[in-house]
Amino acid sequence: MTPRVLTTTEEVREALAGPGRVGLVPTMGYLHDGHAALIRQARAACDVVVVSVFVNPRQFGVNEDLGRYPRDLDRDLAVAGAAGADLLFHPEVTTMYPDGYATTVTVSGVSGPPEGHARPGHFDGVSTVVLKLLNIVQPERAYFGEKDWQQLAVVRRMVRDLNVPVRVVGVPTVRAASGLALSSRNSYLTPEQQERAVVLSRALWAVQEAAAAGERDTARLVQAGLEVLARDPEVRPDYLTVVDSDMRERERVENDPMTRVLVAARMFGVRLIDNVPLWAEERWTGGEDA
Ligand code: AMP
């Protein structure tokens, strides 16, 4: 079924006036199978599933891709409907930030390096819009992808710190058969360029392999990943790091399941991010040799 499109907060309130557990899946649209996984998980646990589609200007830096970010509401309705969404909240920028809007939510610490350092102000924009969406929809559960690992950590911190009555659910990253993490921004790349971009995944797997082989020194683990990235001259690494659950890089890694390998790099003028757990029961073995 095609979800009903809502554009105002009043419409959302009316549509959700009845009983039942509400699940929210916040997105910036141009939906793909990664978003669909979040929606399906919400569908399985909730009575009413709301997907928000809002390209939030406040989480883009001045020289970033806000102007060209892909948008296609018909496609979003088809993907969201097929995955089981009931409602699609698609507000105008002026609905979210009317004249005189003056409030920003800042989460300290966990919104710093690596991603918050590379994109100053980005997580202020994210936490502000997510809190607004949570207040508008008032869901019992909200679904976020592990693809944006640090974003998930920032949202969890905000929800805890501000006593937001919602359960945050993290959903594992959905990948193409090649291993490339699905992303709306992959649409900026040709199929051949997307194949080349698998080098990011290979770098992450190389770090996992080094850890599995016994390496505990963070600098050497990072080096193992950077060596893979260096093999493709098209890659302009932004960062590759191994962090704990508070996004801190320590000298030596612990045997903690929350330890994560994060990478960000530019390829073909497009900024891509990805991450994997350092300790993975099943490491990706597809694709070429790392
Ligand atoms: P975006 O539209 O890129 O802002 O993403 C909306 C939500 O979908 C975020 O919680 C993302 O982490 C999540 N997401 C994006 N790509 C993927 C993916 N490949 N696998 C799982 N979740 C994803």
Nearest CA to ligand 1 atom 17: 34
Residue 99 Cα to ligand 1 midpoint, Å, equals 29
Whether the pLDDT of residue 12 is over 60: the answer is: yes
Amino acid (one-letter) located at 81: G
* CB of 182 closer than 6 angstroms to any ligand 1 atom: yes
Per-residue tokens: 264: 């960000």
Res 281: pLDDT: 76
Q: Which of 75, 146, 148, 200 to mutate to test the pocket of ligand 1 (most atoms within 8 A of CB)?
A: 148
Give burial (CB, 10 Å; 0-12/13-18/19+) of 31: buried
| 264 pLDDT above the threshold of 70 | yes
Rg of the chain's alpha carbons, rounded to an integer? 19
Task: Describe the crossing of helices 218-230 and 198-212 by its angle, rounded to 10 degrees.
Answer: 150
Residue pLDDT, tens place only, 221-238? 999 999 999 999 999 999
The pLDDT value recorded for residue 290 is 38
Per DSSP, the residues of 167-205 read EEEEEPPPB-TTSPBP-GGGGGS-HHHHHHTHHHHHHHH
Binding residues for ATP: 28-35, 145-148, 174, 182-185
Q: What pTM was estimated for this model as a whole?
A: 0.96
Residue 174 CB less than 6 A away from ligand 1: yes
Tell me if 127 sits within 8 A of 54, measured CB to CB: no
Determine which residue's CA is closest to atom 14 belonging to ligand 1. 145
Q: What is the pLDDT of residue 10?
A: 98
Q: How far is the CA of 34 from the centre of ligand 1 (A)?
A: 6
- C-alpha of residue 181 to centroid of ligand 1, in Å: 10
Above pLDDT 90, what percent of the chain?
Answer: 95
Rounded CA-CA distance 213/218 in Å is 14
| Spatial contact of 205 and 284, defined as CB atoms under 8 Å apart | yes
What pLDDT is recorded for position 288?
A: 46
User: What is the spatial distance between Cα 149 and Cα 262, in angstroms, rounded to a whole number?
Assistant: 8
The packing angle between helices 33-45 and 73-83, to 10°, is: 40
Mean pLDDT of 232-250: 97
- Record the tokens describing residue 275, joined without a space: 């991450």
Beta bridge partners of 145: 171
- Residue 272 has which token pair? 């891509």
CB of residue 147 inside a 6 A radius of ligand 1: yes
Q: Is 35 a catalytic residue?
A: yes
Residue 145 Cα: closest atom of ligand 1: 12
Q: Which of 32, 33, 38, 133 to mutate to test the pocket of ligand 1 (most atoms within 8 A of CB)?
A: 38
Q: What is the mean pLDDT of the chain?
A: 96
Beta bridge partners of 276: 261
Ligand 1 centroid from CA 173, angstroms: 8
Distance in angstroms (rounded) separating the CA atoms of residues 137 and 9 = 8
Angle at 204 between CA 201 and CA 209, to 5 degrees: 120
- From the CB of residue 193, how many other CB atoms can be counted at a distance below 10 Å? 15
Residues β-bridged to residue 231? none
CB-CB contact of 241 with 114 (8 Å): yes
Q: Which residues contact 139 (CB under 8 A, 6 or more apart)?
A: 22, 23, 24, 46, 50, 166
Q: What is the pLDDT of residues 151-204, one digit of tens each?
A: 999 999 999 999 999 999 999 999 999 999 999 999 999 999 999 999 999 999
pLDDT of the residue at 287: 52
Q: 44-82, pLDDT tens digit by residue?
A: 999 999 999 999 999 999 999 999 999 999 999 999 999
Any atom of ligand 1 within 6 Å of the Cβ of 28 = yes
Q: What are phi and psi of 51, to 5 degrees?
A: -110, 130
Burial class (CB in 10 A: 0-12, 13-18, 19+), 63: exposed
265: which 2 tokens?
């790099």
